[in-house]
Chains A and B, each alone.
Chain A
């Protein structure tokens, strides 16, 4: 097990409740602004997900697309986002969210070594399914970083077994058949999917995509080990009258999510 995977799994083991994993788009609306969001959220987060903006984010809906575009327009580079991670190393473990071309362009080894020096625990790559992960994974493992794999409601038993064999840190369960920023329904389909994942995957299960409200978080907390919230945080920050108000809104919202997760029966 990589050092990053061990750190992530320790957080789950010690939490005693489902984890809160908020997302910040690095460089949105600019580097300082995203750093301030990350600091505000890190107070409540069990794991922090930090996005590297990409020009063609296939798994993302309009909110994260637009945030990523604004980050790119403000001149954000991948190494800038990794530096944000470095500045947060005293807080909860950081997991980067990046599309695979960013890693290939930097060179797998250089990318993961830089991330490791910044204290990054894991990397989520939404366009790198388990069958393609080989060389990227090797470089990550050598640098001590976990590749956090994703599973979807359309993942069948055989693939889930393959994912289970390769999963480390935690498994990112995509709640909906779709892109980020929609609206999750905690119903039979999601329950069946999480059950299927449980049967094949040993690492903790974290559910993301379309999670907006404390109610969502609590419902998901009953079936999974953690919840990712992303688009909703971007909307809250973006709709605030000022960056300060935005940070306050994130602080209050994150507190309400943690409160909801605290109430989930163990």
Chain B
């Protein structure tokens, strides 16, 4: 049985109602048992290959590289995963685990809808009942994904509390779990939440980094100078970073949402502007008032519109192993447009934040530069098209 950390430095923990502690213990036990079980591994790896489409390619983005003044820019193409983002890696792993735990019902929260779609997909595949909580604001800006989830047979429950975005959807999913914990598994979509969730999500996403490391060595014969990823809760980032954590020469860069600009206070950048606090079961950097009320974040991208961040990122910030920067809504939109035009790849608005930081910092990044192209932007075309003045 492998050890599952409860804390990353001082961060993490289990700040949840007593009602679900037993379920967290059960999950920890099931993960420890099955993660190293050959049958489980074979089933997951088989599905990741034939169903998700792994390994995803490593693609050299020459034209965007030229535009940014970077000789070697590589995309780790998680946008090519089935359902269009890295989220399926974790959703499939957790739903398989839920089946092993004999839980017949799956719930999830979703912001951009990518995790909701991935979970609904895994639930359809494995014949489980699925309910997804989504803020009403997000349902409007990510309408396509709402329709997809419903087509997949999932129930989408609108959440109206707070700003009706990811934070509120997560709180509501946790309340459902507290109520139905005996027969329900909560598939958290990012590397957040009470232990053991952050570690479980990181391990299911670590496949990104493991593949990427092998691929860049095969392609270039050397490691990348920098690996860049966007950070909301931080699951795609932790997934790719885990492949390079022990390679001290590889700079790891996480990119938060600066929204309308850090100076406006309207952003989703807890690592830059927050302080340690407890939200959704773990201690981590958090946007909050001096009294400890959780602040309402802002980002153009629903997936980064979150006031907290995974506890491992807080530890990696303090330890200095990862450098965290950020990109505004406008910078992200510019990068969205640049990538679409130069590469014929429409990236998710979340991913566009990572691209924007690369464009801005091209002169200081050591090549080859690798970015986790965490998702595709089909879901964002209405919103980005309107912002770009396209007739849509």
Q: Chain B 269-280, CB within 8 Å of chain A: the 1/0 string?
A: 000000011111
Do B293 and A54 touch (CB < 8 A)? yes
User: Which of under 10, 10 to 19, 20 to 34, or 35 or more describes the interface residues of A?
Assistant: 35 or more
Q: Does B182 contact A (CB under 8 A)?
A: yes
Do B15 and A100 touch (CB < 8 A)? yes
Within 8 A of B (CB), among A157-203: 159, 174, 177-179, 182
Question: Of the candidates A78, A132, A156, which one forms a contact with B22 in the assembled complex, judged by CB atoms under 8 Å apart?
Answer: A156
Q: Does B21 contact A (CB under 8 A)?
A: yes
- Complexed CA–CA distance, A78 and B293 (Å): 10
What residues of chain B lie closer than 8 Å to A127, measured between beta carbons?
Answer: 15-17, 278, 281
Do B19 and A154 touch (CB < 8 A)? yes
Q: Does A65 contact B (CB under 8 A)?
A: yes
What residues of chain A lie closer than 8 Å to B276, measured between beta carbons?
Answer: 104
Q: Which residue of B lies closest to A125 (CB)?
A: B15
Q: Chain B 141-180, CB within 8 Å of chain A: the 1/0 string?
A: 0000000000000000000011000010001001100111
Q: Chain B 289-308, CB within 8 Å of chain A: the 1/0 string?
A: 11111100000000000000
Do B22 and A104 touch (CB < 8 A)? no
Interface residues in B, total, Cβ within 8 A: 37
Do A58 and B291 touch (CB < 8 A)? no
Do A177 and B178 touch (CB < 8 A)? yes
- Complexed CA–CA distance, A128 and B175 (Å): 16
Do A77 and B291 touch (CB < 8 A)? yes
- Complexed CA–CA distance, A154 and B182 (Å): 9
Q: Which residue of B lies closest to A176 (CB)?
A: B179
Q: How many A-B residue pairs have CB under 8 A?
A: 112
- Complexed CA–CA distance, A55 and B19 (Å): 21
Closest CB of chain B to A177's CB: distance in Å? 6
Do A56 and B171 touch (CB < 8 A)? yes
What residues of chain B lie closer than 8 Å to A69, measured between beta carbons?
Answer: 161
Given contacts A101-B278, A102-B292, contact A178 B18 (CB under 8 A): no
Question: Of the candidates B16, B161, B175, B289, which one forms a contact with A179 in the assembled complex, judged by CB atoms under 8 Å apart?
Answer: B175
Closest CB of chain A to B385's CB: distance in Å? 33
Closest CB of chain A to B296's CB: distance in Å? 9
Do B291 and A105 touch (CB < 8 A)? yes
Do A65 and B161 touch (CB < 8 A)? yes
What residues of chain A lie closer than 8 Å to B281, measured between beta carbons?
Answer: 58, 127
What residues of chain B lie closer than 8 Å to A105, measured between beta carbons?
Answer: 277, 288-292
Which interface residue of A102, A130, A132, A182 has the most chain B CB atoms within 10 A? A132
Closest CB of chain A to B170's CB: distance in Å? 9
Do A58 and B288 touch (CB < 8 A)? no
Question: Of the candidates A101, A102, A152, which one forms a contact with B279 in the assembled complex, judged by CB atoms under 8 Å apart?
Answer: A101
Do B178 and A59 touch (CB < 8 A)? yes
Main secondary structure of the interface of B (DSSP, over half): mixed
- Complexed CA–CA distance, A156 and B24 (Å): 13
Q: Does A126 contact B (CB under 8 A)?
A: yes
Q: Does A25 contact B (CB under 8 A)?
A: no
Do A55 and B175 touch (CB < 8 A)? no
- Complexed CA–CA distance, A103 and B290 (Å): 11
Do B277 and A104 touch (CB < 8 A)? yes
Q: Does B20 contact A (CB under 8 A)?
A: yes
Question: Of the candidates B20, B288, B289, which one forms a contact with A154 in the assembled complex, judged by CB atoms under 8 Å apart?
Answer: B20
Do A152 and B175 touch (CB < 8 A)? no
Do B16 and A58 touch (CB < 8 A)? yes
Question: Of the candidates A54, A56, A131, A159, which one forms a contact with B14 in the assembled complex, judged by CB atoms under 8 Å apart?
Answer: A131
Within 8 A of A (CB), among B23-62: 23
- Complexed CA–CA distance, A151 and B14 (Å): 15
Q: Which residue of A lies closest to B308 (CB)?
A: A56
Do A101 and B277 touch (CB < 8 A)? yes
Do B288 and A101 touch (CB < 8 A)? yes
What residues of chain B lie closer than 8 Å to A149, measured between beta carbons?
Answer: 18
Do A104 and B18 touch (CB < 8 A)? no
Q: Does B348 contact A (CB under 8 A)?
A: no
Do B293 and A72 touch (CB < 8 A)? yes
Closest CB of chain A to B30's CB: distance in Å? 16
Closest CB of chain A to B295's CB: distance in Å? 8
Within 8 A of B (CB), among A98-120: 99-106
What residues of chain A lie closer than 8 Å to B283, measured between beta carbons?
Answer: 104
Closest CB of chain A to B125's CB: distance in Å? 29
What residues of chain A lie closer than 8 Å to B229, measured between beta carbons?
Answer: none
Q: 19 more A-B contacts (CB under 8 A) besides A58-B281, A129-B15?
A: A54-B292, A56-B171, A58-B17, A58-B171, A78-B291, A100-B15, A100-B278, A101-B294, A102-B292, A104-B278, A104-B292, A105-B291, A127-B281, A150-B18, A154-B19, A154-B181, A155-B22, A177-B180, A177-B181
Residues on B lying within 8 angstroms of A by beta carbon are 13-23, 161-162, 167, 171, 174-175, 178-182, 276-281, 283, 286, 288-294
8 contacts between A and B (CB under 8 A): A58-B178, A78-B291, A101-B286, A102-B291, A102-B292, A104-B276, A152-B19, A182-B179
Sort A-B residue pairs by CB-CB distance and give the 10 closest, nearest first.
Answer: A105-B292, A178-B179, A152-B19, A55-B293, A101-B278, A101-B292, A55-B294, A152-B18, A154-B22, A59-B17
Residues on A lying within 8 angstroms of B by beta carbon are 54-56, 58-59, 61, 65, 69, 72, 77-78, 99-106, 126-132, 149-156, 159, 174, 177-179, 182
